[in-house]
Amino acid sequence: MTGNGKKAIIAIILLIIFGGFGTYLRSHQAVPDHGPDFSLIPMETETLYATEHRFDEYAYQVLQADTTTLRMYQEQTGDLYWLFMAYFSSQKYGSQIHSPKHCLPGGGYRIVSIEPYEIELADGSTILINRLQIADQRRMELMFYWYETRNGVIPNEFGLKLDLMKNSIMLLPTDAVICRVTYAMTYNSDIEAATEKTVNFIREFYPAMQAALPFNN
């Protein structure tokens, strides 16, 4: 047998092994005990009041999340913050959570800038998430987003794929949530002042967001 023939046989054997392993993982996937309870996130604080909203139905068909919440929080000063969380009871290979990097341009937004951003929480711990400036023809917005799974906060899509592989191999639930906080700005807004306000919003609501998720309950 030639060297190329041996390589071909080895490649076929590896495909059979990994194909069978993938089938096994899909058929033995762990199911979460329960989903999130977004009602644990307050609709009102001393300075903020929220109203629940929805995207159009097509957006939810594309998203394919199990449950979501979309809220507009208004501050007494008139500042607006949008909180969006989408929970997926199972991530599937080839059809993972839609990244804002892909969805925003498809929705008519231009990503002006994107960078990792570390936030210090009220308890002194830190999380690494993403800060974006986005714009359309009418307005500019500041957005922070991140993913969370049973392994904690994951800032990027590559980390999410690794997390899916790890949990699948360990036969753990592969549920995940994307969290997104958006602050309405104008083209003349100070980005650092807007960042400080949005970070304070995240810092205030993060404990309730954690309580609402099924990962630590």
User: What does the pLDDT read at residue 19?
Assistant: 47
Q: Report helix, strand or coil for 27.
A: helix
Instruction: Kindly write down the DSSP assignment for every residue of 49-98, as one continuous string.
Output: EEEE----HHHHHHH--SEEEEEEEEETTS-EEEEEEEEES--BTTB-PP
User: What does the pLDDT read at residue 18?
Assistant: 42
Nearest to 153 by CA among 182, 187, 118: 118
User: What does the pLDDT read at residue 102?
Assistant: 81
User: What does the pLDDT read at residue 47?
Assistant: 93
pLDDT in tens, the chain (217 residues): 555 555 555 555 544 444 444 554 455 566 767 789 999 999 999 999 999 999 989 888 888 899 999 999 999 889 999 999 999 988 765 456 888 888 887 778 889 999 999 999 999 999 999 999 999 888 889 999 999 998 899 998 888 888 888 877 777 788 899 999 999 988 788 999 999 999 999 999 999 999 999 987 6
Q: Whole-angstrom Cα distance, residue 213 to residue 86?
A: 11
Q: Whole-angstrom Cα distance, residue 99 to residue 114?
A: 13
